[in-house]
């Protein structure tokens, strides 16, 4: 049986290097941590939550924004899925409903870069 991995040493080296960088950046952003939560219950998955999460990761990467993206189970607002909650630096979270892939760039731009909450997409606060 043929077993293969990424050129192993190289890839693990990459991961180690990455760890060093992450430690540095963690020190810098300790007080301004941003957490983005995506609902990943059956309801969320069926509504496209996995693709929304993927789009969020790509957007953060593109704009070099440091944030933790976390998936959670169903919170009971199935009709509003996909649900995305943004918490910044210890402030109460803002939950947006019916977020699709097309809405993600605007969401990141307004909420995370300009600091504006997009009221018409909000379904719950705090």
Side-chain half-sphere exposure of 54, counting CA atoms within 13 A: 7
The verdict on 89 binding another protein (CB under 8 A) reads: no
Compare residues 82 and 119 and give the one whose CB is closer to another protein: 82
The verdict on 82 binding another protein (CB under 8 A) reads: no
CB of 106 to another protein, least distance (A): 20
Residue 20 main-chain phi, psi, to 5 deg: -60, -45
The verdict on 30 binding another protein (CB under 8 A) reads: no
Other CB atoms within a 10 A radius of the CB of residue 118 amount to 15
Q: How many residues bind another protein (CB under 8 A)?
A: 47
Number of residues assigned to the chain: 126
The verdict on 113 binding another protein (CB under 8 A) reads: no
Longest Cα–Cα distance in the chain: 56
Give 70's strand partners.
37
**How distant is the alpha carbon of residue 93 from its chain centre?**
13
Interface residues toward another protein, by CB under 8 A: 1-6, 11-12, 14-16, 18-19, 21-23, 25-26, 37-38, 40-43, 45-46, 49-51, 53-54, 57, 60-61, 65-76, 78
């Amino acid at each position: 049986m043929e077993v293969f991995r990424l050129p192993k040493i190289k890839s693990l080296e990459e991961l180690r290097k990455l760890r060093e960088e992450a430690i540095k950046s963690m020190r810098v952003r300790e007080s301004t941590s941003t957490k983005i939560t995506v609902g990943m219950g059956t309801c969320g998955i069926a509504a496209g939550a996995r693709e929304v999460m993927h789009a969020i990761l790509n957007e953060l990467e593109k704009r070099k924004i440091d944030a933790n993206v976390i998936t959670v189970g169903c919170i009971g607002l199935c009709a509003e899925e996909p649900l995305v909650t943004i918490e910044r630096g210890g402030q109460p979270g803002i939950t947006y409903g019916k977020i699709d892939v097309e809405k993600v760039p605007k969401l990141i731009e307004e909420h995370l870069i300009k600091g504006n909450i997009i009221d018409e997409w909000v379904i719950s606060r705090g």
